Amino acid sequence: MKTLVFLLLLLPCGLLFAGEVQVELIEVEDGDTLVVDLAGKEERIQLLGVDAPEDTQNPKLKHDMRRTGLDAAQLLPAGQAATQYLKFLVQPGAALTLSGRLKQRDRYGRISTQVFSATGVSLNQAMVAAGHARPLRSGAIPKTLKQALEEAYITAKSTRQGSWESYADVFGIWAGEN
C-alpha cells in the first residue's frame, strides 16, 4: 500500500484525472467554449489547443482589440460565424466525449480538453479545419493534437475556408498572420 501511495505522489497531478468521459451538451457558449452536464454539474469546456474570435463584448474581446488594433465591429462578425459553425456541428442534448486531463482548467475557469462528437469527430480539429479558429501555440497541448491543429490551420488558410474567406483581412490579423 505504501508503494502505491508513493507512486501516486510521483505522478504529475493532471495525469491522475486523465481519461475519457461522456457528457451531454447543454449549450454552445462561443466558438471555442461549450457548456456541458458533467456528472450532474454544469461545466464550461474549452476546446483544448483552440482559440476562436469572440462573439460578444467581453474582456477577451478587449484584449484582442488591443493586440490587433482592430475594433469590435471588425472582430465580432468572425466570432459570431465561429459560434454559428460550432452550433451547426453540435446541438444541445448531443452526447459528447471529453478526452484528456479533466481537472485542468484555463485562466477563465474552463476545463481544457479534446471534445469528440458522438460520431468521433474532433470538434477541436473541426473548428480549425473549417477556418473558424486557430491553434494555440503555447500551453500543455498533446503533440499529436498540436500537429493535427497546425495541419488543419495551414489547409484552411490555403483553401480559404470559413473566416479565411468571409473575413480574410480581419481574421488574418486576429490570427497573427498579418
pLDDT for 37 equals 97
Cβ neighbours of 80 (radius 10 Å): 16
Euclidean distance between the first and the last CA atom of the chain, given in angstroms as a whole number: 57
Which residues of the chain carry a pLDDT beneath 70? Answer: 1-18, 178
CA angle 154, 130, 31 (to 5 degrees): 115
pLDDT for 5 equals 30
pLDDT for 137 equals 84
> Could you tell me which of 99, 89, 111 has the C-alpha nearest to residue 41?
111
Is residue 170 within 8 A of residue 178, CB to CB? The reply is no
pLDDT for 178 equals 65
HSE of 167, CA atoms in CB hemisphere, 13 A: 23
pLDDT for 18 equals 61
pLDDT for 2 equals 36
CATH number of 14-174: 2.40.50.90
CA angle 98, 161, 113 (to 5 degrees): 15
54 Cβ contact list (under 8 Å, min separation 6): 30, 60, 61, 64, 75, 76, 79
pLDDT for 161 equals 95
